[in-house]
Structure 1
Amino acid sequence: MKMARVGILLDKQAAERRWAFGQNVFEAYLGEVLSHAGIPYQWLDDPATIDRADVDILLVALCEEEEKKAATLLRFAEDGGGVISYAGLNRLTGKLGCKERREWSPGYARLPGEGEDLRPLRYLYSRPWILTNEAEGEAWGSLHAERPDGPETAPALLRFKAGSGFIDRWSVNIPYTIVALQQGSGPVFEDGIPAEDGTGNVDEGILKADDKCEMDWEYDRLTTETGAPYFAHPYADLWREVLIGHLLRRSVEMGLTLPFLGYWPDGISHVAMISHDSDINQDEHAEATLEVLEECGIRSTWCMLEPGYSSSIYDRVKEAGHELAFHYNALDIQGGHWGEEEFDRQLAWLKSAAGLSEITSNKNHYTRFEGWGELFRFCEKNGIAAEQTRGPSKKGNIGFLFGTCHPYFPISWADERNRLYDVLEIGFLTQDLDHLTLADSSVVVPFLEQTKKVQGVAHFLFHQIHIMQQPKVTDAVRKVVREAKSRGFVFWTCKEINDWERARRKVSIRGVNDRGEVIADGEALDRLVVWIPVTGEAETGAVIESKFGVPCMKQVLSRSCASR
């Protein structure tokens, strides 16, 4: 099998022009989407350098709308290449027999083959085309204005034959949508809009991660049988699946395969995580938590708030195999404040108090958050590799309020040229279930089921004080563990998730041999799964599963295979 060669075009001239005016190029996030999936690709910064001999499929992240550059992309397709764009290529509108239509954003996209139980996907920016009578394109899916059942405005995807190749153009800017769902459409500098039903009073005067949430209170929440509302759909993860599935299908249609990495080690399809925040810092709270964790047979992540526990507690936490993490306090009413110096000072305290030379992860107290990338810069400076702050602070905004349950590297603002921060974000779904004033545990099963579908991380937060003081919260911990284990979840700490994700990204697929086996470079990593889309008859005895809607053959890399 021949492996498809994928290129991402990020026109340097166009990007520089946008950065000069303070405009973001979130389209660059295409690289992070493919990297997380373990799909090999190369960056191209000038359309003039595109050579059909080097690239089979070109993903257009950004290209200056110039006649000459548009003609280069069209010629690449006519020569047998594939071009995929996400709400771009507008210079080719007339040549492809289309007209541009008014933008309706945000909205919802209906895509064929979604499944009866999945609502249309929320998108945050579109630039739609429609076919004219002269066009020879194929429309796929549909966009709907403002709400899931809103009026149809345009096709979701248009596909065109061009010579011996093709041009596919999505009406939705998928990379932008993923970024804005995960990180918001702008910096946090004021309160968010509360829920009209009173379940999400994010306008309480404290700046937090959920003050910049792009979900809709009405259209994106469901309720459980007890009436508990929750954000039900990991739209960012689902858009990733749409983007990757489309790329894989197009590769196979060209007679090429495009191998990619499994998210988790062989034998594991989805991961659960429990973290704790040490608010109030009483030793008896920690002792009660250690007992229930031992009973449940899991290890967890302990985010420590100054002044913390007695030193003997830290020793017991470490001896039990739990992770000690940081809980940065920037809550003004408790004497904390937002700033690099204060972050540094509190982290130095924890290292000294707990006898740690390094700390892997952090979660901010009360999910305090300001601006756009400051927190990630604080973490980078101090060697904090993983971050957990992006989660709900209110009873009514639990669930997938940032559209994802996958670990991801966040993108910076235009002032940092939209680089990726070297900090792995692992957000959480909810906190302290069955607490007197918070959500009940009826959400556990839907959270686990949806996380399982997208092979993500089901991250639950439980404070030690509530485990000690409220028996129903303790029982909720037991329920989470019981229900998760019954569905095949494996409990990892934040550090374990971070270490695995970073290690798997160091493995690079560079080809497929004559026997259909992947050849990979990088550090040795046991039980790493590779999926190889099937282009014809699969080998006898091969394990075939559908991944991203494409039949794929499974290969487990050994240490020797990963270092060829």
Structure 2
Amino acid sequence: MQAVKIGLWLNRNAAEYHWKHGQNIFQLYIEEILSHAGIPYRLFDQAEQLHAYRPDIIVNVLAGERDEDLDRLLQWAQDGAVVIAYGGLNRLASRMGCVEVGCREAVYAEIEGMESFLQEKLLRALCSQPWLPSNRHEKSGSLLAEAQGKLRLGKAGSELGAASLTFRIGSGKLIRWNVDIPSTVVFLQQGRGPVYQDGIPAEDGTGGIDEGILKADDGMEVDWKEDRILSDSNIPYFSIPYGDLWREVIVHELMKEAEGLGLALPFLDYWPRGIEQVALISHDSDFNSEEAARTTLELLKECGVRSTWCMIEPGYSRKMYDMITDAGHELAFHFNALEAESGIWSQDEFSRQLQHLRQASGADIVSNKNHYTRFEGWGELFRWCEAEGIQADQTRGPSKKGNVGFPFGTAHPYYPIARAGERNRLYDVLQVGFLTQDLEHPMLPDMSVIEPFLQAVKGVRGVAHFLFHQQHIHHIDGVREAFRAVVGQAKSLGYTFWTCAEITSWEQARRNARLSVDANGALEAGQLPDGAVIRYFQHPHAGLENDSKRDRYGLPCPEWSGMIKGAAERTR
């Protein structure tokens, strides 16, 4: 079984020019998307190296604007490669018989042929650059593109062109998406820019994020009207993990294109063997009541789950910390930068509070969640985490009753990207966002959101992260019942409960695995973590029995059955 060779093309000269002028290359986020999906690829910034490898599929990150740069892409297609571009290539439009249409608004994409996992959802796109066939294409002799899907201004709005266009060139093809998918995923997860002012509140009064406190959700890029639906008890929530579905669109297409070339696309599955999706329970210790801590420990024991305890200064006694860790729970940091509580948004204060917790608890603190989801800027928090050995952050979640669910478009752990000043590197801090806080609290949603949240996260095989404060568990009967309901329903749907530290450790092990395809199409693997499963897309006509646990990205994906060079090498 021969594996497909995927190459990412980054014109180094063009990239340096962009960074020199402070321009982001968020298209580089395709690396994080493929890495999290466990797909082997190689990034090339020298054309000679790409030519030597001869990828079967070439994903354009940044080609450059010169004629010779664009000619190079077309030649690769002419020679038989599938070249995929997510937006960009604007100077190529007229040569392909098209004209670019200006669009600065968010649009919704209708994707054809992927209904099996998109469930006919319209996907919100935040960075679209539509090409339309020009009425001059016949005169120019250009081939008319094959259009796929539609873009709309609003879910019920006017049509703005196709979602993607395919041009047959020689023995290969150019697929040009009218959506910059990597940048769209970045904007959904991290916002369009730094947080420096309040966000826009919901007109119905359910999402008052303009209260004068800078928070993660001040930068959210979903729409209050278009992207929320009501639960059975009329609780509004953001129902669709748009970013995760866009990731799946990318992988689904790569699999189908590989199949069209007669090749297989291997990938390292999201979770270890026997685990389909993960649930995470975290707590914020806000009032530091040890009586509330004991009530929480009893409830966790009753439900048979372990959780992550985010501790705010001054915290608990050493005896209580020992009780928490002896029961198998994780101690984490709860950074307080809330001005109303004399908090300060600074690296020195972050470091001081963290060192206090480490000394007081004696624990190895590896994850953090900011008090009140306090957040500002773009990458400051992540740089502080890197400097202090914090490996995961949980801050990106809703702060209001009306924006629970998927305000950041994802249920998956991911590594955030830096801006141009840091050359769009990935921060070495895993982000694990949450869905909601303290269900059945009088100021927060009720239990009607549990089932839709769990089903949506299960649909993308992500992390269903619920936050419950110890104080509310102790004082409010309804919150305790909601906790029991979350655990019971999650277990009935096949969720496995992990702490944030366990999620982080597994994701780090996956990323450290070596999965690559050599120049001859042979799959190479090394440092695979225990339980890791390598899969690939196998067309249904191959006689594969229907088994939903093998379905990935809307396609049947059994375990890799071909030769793997170096597969015996594993880590623990």
With the length of structure 1 as denominator, give the TM-score of the two structures.
0.95
Looking at structure 2, the residues matched to 494 and 455 of structure 1 have their Cα atoms a distance apart, in angstroms, of 16
- Decide whether the 8 Å contact of 1:276 with 1:302 is kept in 2: yes
2:445 aligns to what SS in structure 1? Answer: coil
- Decide whether the 8 Å contact of 2:438 with 2:444 is kept in 1: yes
The residue correspondences of 1:385-424 to structure 2 (distance < 5 A) are 385-424=391-430
Sort the Cα spacing of 1:174 and 1:44 in 2 relative to 1 into closer, same or farther, 3 A. same
Q: 1:19-40, CA deviations, whole angstroms, 9 ceiling, x for partnerless residues? A: 1121111111010000001111
Shift of 1:480: 0.2
Q: 1:277-327, CA deviations, whole angstroms, 9 ceiling, x for partnerless residues? A: 001101001000000000000000000000111211101100000000000
The residue correspondences of 1:380-529 to structure 2 (distance < 5 A) are 380-511=386-517, 519-522=524-527, 524-529=528-533
Sort the Cα spacing of 1:561 and 1:542 in 2 relative to 1 into closer, same or farther, 3 A. farther
Shift of 1:11: 1.6
Sort the Cα spacing of 1:540 and 1:296 in 2 relative to 1 into closer, same or farther, 3 A. closer
Q: Which residue of 2 aligns with 1:245?
A: 252
Sort the Cα spacing of 1:547 and 1:517 in 2 relative to 1 into closer, same or farther, 3 A. farther
Sort the Cα spacing of 1:395 and 1:540 in 2 relative to 1 into closer, same or farther, 3 A. closer
Alignment of 1:534 onto 2:542: no
Shift of 1:93: 1.6
- Return the letter of the residue paired with 1:508: R
Shift of 1:543: 7.8
Alignment of 1:32 onto 2:28: no
Unaligned residue ranges in structure 2 (runs of 5+): none
Shift of 1:131: 2.1
- Return the letter of the residue paired with 1:93: A
Q: Which residue of 1 aligns with 2:151?
A: 143
Sort the Cα spacing of 1:10 and 1:136 in 2 relative to 1 into closer, same or farther, 3 A. same
Percent of aligned pairs with the same amino acid? 51
**2:556 pairs with one of 543, 546, 551:** 551
Alignment of 1:218 onto 2:219: no
Q: 1:174-226, CA deviations, whole angstroms, 9 ceiling, x for partnerless residues? A: 00000000000000000000000001110000000000010000000011111
Q: Which residue of 2 aligns with 1:375?
A: 381
- Return the letter of the residue paired with 1:360: V
Looking at structure 1, the residues matched to 127 and 23 of structure 2 have their Cα atoms a distance apart, in angstroms, of 15
Q: Which residue of 1 aligns with 2:3?
A: 3
Sort the Cα spacing of 1:234 and 1:543 in 2 relative to 1 into closer, same or farther, 3 A. closer
1:9 aligns to what SS in structure 2? Answer: strand
1:15 aligns to what SS in structure 2? Answer: helix
Alignment of 1:259 onto 2:259: no
Alignment of 1:292 onto 2:299: yes
Alignment of 1:347 onto 2:354: yes
Unaligned residue ranges in structure 1 (runs of 5+): none
Sort the Cα spacing of 1:23 and 1:518 in 2 relative to 1 into closer, same or farther, 3 A. closer
Sort the Cα spacing of 1:308 and 1:408 in 2 relative to 1 into closer, same or farther, 3 A. same
Alignment of 1:152 onto 2:159: yes
Alignment of 1:317 onto 2:321: no
- Return the letter of the residue paired with 2:269: G
Looking at structure 1, the residues matched to 226 and 270 of structure 2 have their Cα atoms a distance apart, in angstroms, of 30
Shift of 1:4: 1.1
Sort the Cα spacing of 1:278 and 1:64 in 2 relative to 1 into closer, same or farther, 3 A. same
Sort the Cα spacing of 1:117 and 1:540 in 2 relative to 1 into closer, same or farther, 3 A. closer
State which drifts further: 422-431 or 86-95. Answer: 86-95
Q: Which residue of 2 aligns with 1:61?
A: 61
**1:121 pairs with one of 123, 128, 140:** 123
Shift of 1:91: 2.5
Q: Which residue of 2 aligns with 1:15?
A: 15
Shift of 1:513: 13
- Decide whether the 8 Å contact of 2:133 with 2:145 is kept in 1: yes
Q: Which residue of 1 aligns with 2:185?
A: 178
Q: Which residue of 2 aligns with 1:89?
A: 89
Looking at structure 2, the residues matched to 362 and 258 of structure 1 have their Cα atoms a distance apart, in angstroms, of 36
Looking at structure 2, the residues matched to 440 and 197 of structure 1 have their Cα atoms a distance apart, in angstroms, of 18
**1:337 pairs with one of 334, 344, 355:** 344
**1:305 pairs with one of 289, 312, 326:** 312
Looking at structure 1, the residues matched to 517 and 13 of structure 2 have their Cα atoms a distance apart, in angstroms, of 31
Aligned-residue Cα RMSD (Å) equals 2.3
Shift of 1:509: 2.2
Q: Which residue of 1 aligns with 2:290?
A: 283
Looking at structure 2, the residues matched to 407 and 81 of structure 1 have their Cα atoms a distance apart, in angstroms, of 32
- Decide whether the 8 Å contact of 1:274 with 1:461 is kept in 2: yes
Sort the Cα spacing of 1:342 and 1:558 in 2 relative to 1 into closer, same or farther, 3 A. farther
Sort the Cα spacing of 1:61 and 1:180 in 2 relative to 1 into closer, same or farther, 3 A. same
Looking at structure 2, the residues matched to 255 and 181 of structure 1 have their Cα atoms a distance apart, in angstroms, of 35
State which drifts further: 359-368 or 124-133. Answer: 124-133
State which drifts further: 37-46 or 419-428. Answer: 37-46
- Return the letter of the residue paired with 1:75: Q
Shift of 1:512: 9.3
Looking at structure 1, the residues matched to 566 and 470 of structure 2 have their Cα atoms a distance apart, in angstroms, of 44
Shift of 1:104: 4.9
Aligned length: 560
Shift of 1:518: 5.3
Q: Which residue of 2 aligns with 1:131?
A: 133
Looking at structure 2, the residues matched to 379 and 471 of structure 1 have their Cα atoms a distance apart, in angstroms, of 36
Sort the Cα spacing of 1:288 and 1:536 in 2 relative to 1 into closer, same or farther, 3 A. closer
Looking at structure 2, the residues matched to 560 and 285 of structure 1 have their Cα atoms a distance apart, in angstroms, of 51
- Return the letter of the residue paired with 2:525: A
2:95 aligns to what SS in structure 1? Answer: coil
Shift of 1:160: 1.2
- Return the letter of the residue paired with 1:528: A
Shift of 1:47: 4.2
Alignment of 1:42 onto 2:49: no
Looking at structure 2, the residues matched to 108 and 20 of structure 1 have their Cα atoms a distance apart, in angstroms, of 33
Looking at structure 2, the residues matched to 196 and 329 of structure 1 have their Cα atoms a distance apart, in angstroms, of 29
- Return the letter of the residue paired with 1:114: E
Shift of 1:49: 4.7
2:512 aligns to what SS in structure 1? Answer: coil
- Return the letter of the residue paired with 1:549: G
Looking at structure 1, the residues matched to 149 and 279 of structure 2 have their Cα atoms a distance apart, in angstroms, of 34
- Decide whether the 8 Å contact of 2:278 with 2:497 is kept in 1: yes
With the length of structure 2 as denominator, give the TM-score of the two structures.
0.94
- Decide whether the 8 Å contact of 2:109 with 2:123 is kept in 1: yes
Q: Which residue of 1 aligns with 2:368?
A: 362
- Decide whether the 8 Å contact of 1:108 with 1:122 is kept in 2: yes
Shift of 1:533: 2.1
Shift of 1:62: 1.1
- Decide whether the 8 Å contact of 1:38 with 1:508 is kept in 2: no
2:128 aligns to what SS in structure 1? Answer: coil
